[in-house]
Amino acid sequence: MAPPAAMFSETATSVDSVPLKGDFAVKTAPIVQKNTSKTLAELADSWEHDFTFAPIRESQVSRAMTRRYFQDLDTYAESDIVIVGAGSCGLSTAYMLGKARPDLKIAIIEASVSPGGGAWLGGQLFSAMVMRKPADAFLADLGIPYDDEGDFVVVKHAALFTSTLLSKVLQFPNIKLFNATAVEDLITRPMPNGSVRIAGVVTNWTLVSMHHDDQSCMDPNTINAPIVISTTGHDGPFGAFCVKRLVSMQQIQKLGGMRGLDMNRAEDAIVKRTREVVPGLIVGGMELSEVDGANRMGPTFGAMALSGVKAAEEALRVFDERKLQNAV
Ligand SMILES: Cc1cc2nc3c(=O)[nH]c(=O)nc-3n(C[C@H](O)[C@H](O)[C@H](O)COP(=O)(O)OP(=O)(O)OC[C@H]3O[C@@H](n4cnc5c(N)ncnc54)[C@H](O)[C@@H]3O)c2cc1C
């Protein structure tokens, strides 16, 4: 396909014949501290006269972003734990793991540009988020205020829960969120009994993943990890991804399919059954309802948070064993 005309000008010399001159190594520009930081109080009322942004060259912006991103790709190509999906369950898992094990490299892969999954609002797009006790323990740990209504608590806006959790997770130095990136497949290794162990994920830009039907040969990237925790939510265009793949690769027979709404049964079931479904793959949150045929619970979110707490526990319980297996 020809490149877009506006971006391409034909020259007489072919690219191959142009000798490459100069040093092409990426250099870190020396930091010249011309502009010392100011406080907001110092900025006040200075807009007309003294105010100007510090100068920048456009390439500095490009390099500031790309250098960090490519460094992260390099660092996390071998991760300790990969979390698929940054919804309420995935983020809760990441929070617990980040706190417990600052020594582990944890990558979160989120298909959407905006992390948070379905937890920005409560039921029927209302603002408040209900959590049944004992999930208030998770809110207390995060320092999120709530109204105590006896057997359950209410956060005034679901977005307060999600934004607080997200901001804490992103501050852990050992956690990297790759958003706008979809998990397209799982890396597998054979086990002695003929089944497989999950040993990482196959990734692609989500926009590329969405165009495999109309563009060919857009190969993915990979991340190796002894533990993958899948929290991709309900079945849907992207949801329940890893467990659907387990069915298609004949590692589980079939999906139970999410059952009708029953708050009391559903939340206990999701938390209690959060587990390693096949070696190396832990499933939590609403994705699990598709495996086990568990009830849905509607707009009560305690099970998502505590399923994340349990997923982190399960991951650490099997981590050393899987890491040893993954070394060969
Ligand atoms: C039909 C429907 C029914 C619902 N019923 C309930 C209910 O019964 N109970 C309830 O609590 N909530 C329900 N919800 C709301 C909401 O989905 C969940 O509460 C909650 O957000 C689930 O949390 P989660 O972390 O398991 O998954 P989600 O919040 O859905 O997060 C999953 C995340 O994974 C990402 N993802 C998916 N596939 C991939 C992939 N291949 N690679 C990378 N990232 C991926 C998604 O972009 C998303 O951010 C429902 C929503 C819908 C649409």
Q: For 6-56, what is each residue's pLDDT tens digit? A: 433 344 344 344 455 555 555 565 666 666 899 999 999 999 988 999 999
Q: What is the mean pLDDT of the chain?
A: 91
CATH label, 81-326, candidates 3.20.20.80, 3.50.50.60, 3.30.70.940, 3.40.50.410: 3.50.50.60
235 lines ligand 1 (CB under 6 A): no
What b/e string do you get for 267-304 counting C-beta neighbours within 10 Å, with b at 16 or more? bbbbbebbbbbbbbbbbbbbbbbbbbebbebebbbbbb
112 lines ligand 1 (CB under 6 A): yes
- Among 29-43, 141-155, 187-201, 297-311, the least confident range: 29-43
pLDDT confidence of residue 36: 84
157 annotated as a binding-site residue: no
pLDDT confidence of residue 238: 75
If you count them, how many residues does the chain have?
328
pLDDT confidence of residue 44: 93
What's this model's pTM, rounded to 2 decimal places?
0.90
pLDDT confidence of residue 4: 39
Q: Which atom of ligand 1 is nearest to the CA of 308?
A: 25
pLDDT confidence of residue 12: 39
Going along the chain, which residue ranges are E strands?
81-84, 106-110, 129-132, 147-148, 152-155, 175-179, 181-190, 196-205, 221-224, 227-230, 259-261, 275-278, 281-283, 295-296
What b/e string do you get for 224-242 counting C-beta neighbours within 10 Å, with b at 16 or more? ebbbbbbbbbbbeebbbbb
Task: Cite the DSSP H helix spans in 81-189.
Answer: 88-100, 136-142, 158-171
87 annotated as a binding-site residue: no
Give the mean pLDDT of 305-310: 98
166 lines ligand 1 (CB under 6 A): no
Q: Which atom of ligand 1 is nearest to the CA of 92?
A: 25
In tens, the pLDDT along 225-266 reads 999 999 999 988 778 999 999 999 999 999 999 999 999 999
- Percent residues over pLDDT 70 in the chain: 89
Domain range annotation of the chain: 81-326
